Amino acid sequence: RKNVEYISTGVKALDDLLEGGIEVGSLTEFIGEFGAGKTQLCHQLSVMVQLPKEKGGLGARALYIDTEGTFRPERVVQIARAKGADPEKVLENIIYARAYNSDHQMLLVDEAKKYIEKNNIRLIIVDSLINHFRSEYPGRENLASRQQKLNRHISQLHKLASLYNLAVVVTNQVMAAPDIFFGNPLKPAGGNIMAHGFTYRIWFRKAKEGKRIARIIDSPKHAEKEAAFAISEDGVTD
Ligand code: GTP
Ligand code: MG
């Protein structure tokens, strides 16, 4: 596993769980219920990727595709300060795009090719991956077409990850734990997205006293371990 680069999450327990951090060249999926911390960690990663290598980053920019309108610049500012980075510069280095529907979301990913290299983008966030797809293709009768389109989108993202050697992080809200293991919306009949290779899935859940628990599931390389973390004024923390 030489030459694999990682983006530190900024949380020791999570980096240990991930054996280094978010892997570059791969697609990582954050799964979990509302308020579990998926979006918070996306904010933090868009700061972390900018830090120099010795601080766990890649000295690079982030592309933040926001499908739910939950990106908060002021939260980025807080996290940047906590990490000792210049908040203004950090905000400038997050290329923000709001996706208004699934077609637009796919178009944004397609268009990204034009400026990834020029702008040194090493992290693409899609928060969340599937809400537009869910609302535009409701019910069982649309499941097949939704899945087909979603698969095309995921394969778009996989291509960018390997072509430009960048990390892709997507979020996926699930109501309850069993969804993850049975009837996952990202698992079409006849194989899941693991078939595309190199995907890591982390399941976040809320625990007592505001704590959060992360667990790696279905990973070819990680043990099914858990790690606890917190969300504070400083961002996502140990
Ligand atoms: P959905 O998008 O609804 O699926 O949830 P999510 O997993 O993206 O949750 P998100 O990352 O938005 O987490 C929201 C939670 O983070 C809140 O309920 C708070 O507990 C916590 N949080 C967000 N901002 C702050 C902050 O500034 N300070 C503190 N202490 N906690 C915060
Ligand atoms: Mg969210």
Span 135-191, pLDDT tens digits: 999 999 999 999 999 999 999 999 999 999 999 999 999 876 544 444 444 443 333
Residue closest by Cα to atom 16 of ligand 1: 37
Centre of ligand 2 from the C-alpha of residue 63, in Å: 16
Four-residue CA torsion sign, 58, 61, 64, 65? negative
Q: Which residues line ligand 1 (CB under 6 A)?
A: 32, 34-40, 70, 173, 231-233
Identity (one letter) of the amino acid at 23?
E
> How many residues can be counted in the chain?
238
Residue-wise burial string across 50-89, b where 16 or more C-beta atoms lie within 10 A, e elsewhere: bbeeeebbbebbbbbbbbeeebeeebbbbbbbbbebebee
Centre of ligand 1 from the C-alpha of residue 157, in Å: 25
Name residue, tokens 């944004």. 108
Number of the ligand closest to the Cα of 79 = 1
Residue closest by Cα to atom 9 of ligand 1: 35
Residue 217: per-residue pLDDT: 86
Quickly count helices (H) and strands (E) in the chain: 8, 11
Residue 198: per-residue pLDDT: 55
Beta strands in 26-107 (DSSP E): 27-32, 61-66, 94-98
Residue closest by Cα to atom 30 of ligand 1: 232
Residue 221: per-residue pLDDT: 82
Cα gap 74→55, rounded to integer Å: 22
Which whole number is the average pLDDT over 183-206? 60
* Atom of ligand 1 minimally distant from the CA of 43: 11
Centre of ligand 2 from the C-alpha of residue 38, in Å: 5
Centre of ligand 1 from the C-alpha of residue 39, in Å: 7
Whole-number average pLDDT of the chain: 90
Q: Strand, coil or helix: what is 79?
A: helix
Asked whether the predicted pLDDT for residue 196 surpasses 80, the reply is: no
Phi/psi of residue 230, each to 5°?
-135, 165
Asked whether the predicted pLDDT for residue 218 surpasses 90, the reply is: no
Residue 10: per-residue pLDDT: 98
Identity (one letter) of the amino acid at 186?
L
Residue closest by Cα to atom 17 of ligand 1: 35
Centre of ligand 1 from the C-alpha of residue 145, in Å: 32
Residue 3: per-residue pLDDT: 84
Asked whether the predicted pLDDT for residue 40 surpasses 90, the reply is: yes
Which whole number is the average pLDDT over 222-238? 94
Which whole number is the average pLDDT over 199-203? 89
Looking from the CA of 149 toward its CB, the CA atoms found within 13 Å total 20
Residue closest by Cα to atom 11 of ligand 1: 37
> How many beta carbons lie within 10 A of that of residue 175, not counting itself?
8
Write out pLDDT tens, residues 111-125: 999 999 999 999 999
Q: Which residues contact 130 (CB under 8 A, 6 or more apart)?
A: 150, 172, 185, 186
Which structure tokens are listed for 206? 């809320």
Centre of ligand 1 from the C-alpha of residue 235, in Å: 9
